[in-house]
Amino acid sequence: PRAVSVRAVSSARPSTSDPRYASGRLTRCHRLAPDRDGRQAILRIHTRDMPLAPDVDLPQVARMTPGMTGAELANLANESALLAVKRQQQQVAQHDFLEGLEKVQLGAARSLLMPEEERRRTGYHESGHALLGMLQPGADPVRKVTIVPRGRALGVTLSTPEADRYAYTEEYLRARIIGALGGMAAEHVVFGVVTTGSENDLEQVTGIARGMSPAGA
């Protein structure tokens, strides 16, 4: 029989993987993330030498971080400690973990001088995401809505699942599509036109829709 060669590659940072394993050389990519108990154990490891305030609730942080890898959880612990040092606190508090989680998930807040009209448009855009997201049965709950620029985004609506998900219903995926299109819909209703701010939303929706099709394309 003909020998079959299978090559497996692991990376904590797939976006910066060795170019020898670039697209076309690997046919399957799987993201392996710990479950809630695993995340809690990882957080305990990375905070064992930190002075934690009495209000720190690592089980709650673990529940709020589904899908995050060990490297991302380590980064979360580090960011939380840096925030406590910046505030000249003697201990790392729960609010440091919550703010650190936002930074890891959304990117660092940045100062950006935006015209008032653009701020207004961004507010309606994010409100559209939040409103349609909250109205969809079975959708992930909306946790934060902001028009403070973070990373490359002018505003952010963050929805996170309340528990780990390993399978997705059609209802859930449709809810995600509707929520993602909420910003574009709000712009169209209020201003009559849409902007390039919806580009990433359309990419996300396209990816979900392709995944729902039998052929995945």
Catalytic member of 126, 171, 199, 203: 126
| Pairing mode, strands 156-159 and 142-146 | antiparallel
The span from the first CA to the last CA of the chain, in angstroms, equals 34
Residue 128, amino acid: G
Q: Are 73 and 65 in contact (CB under 8 A)?
A: yes
* Catalytic annotation present for 126: yes
Which residues are part of the catalytic machinery?
126
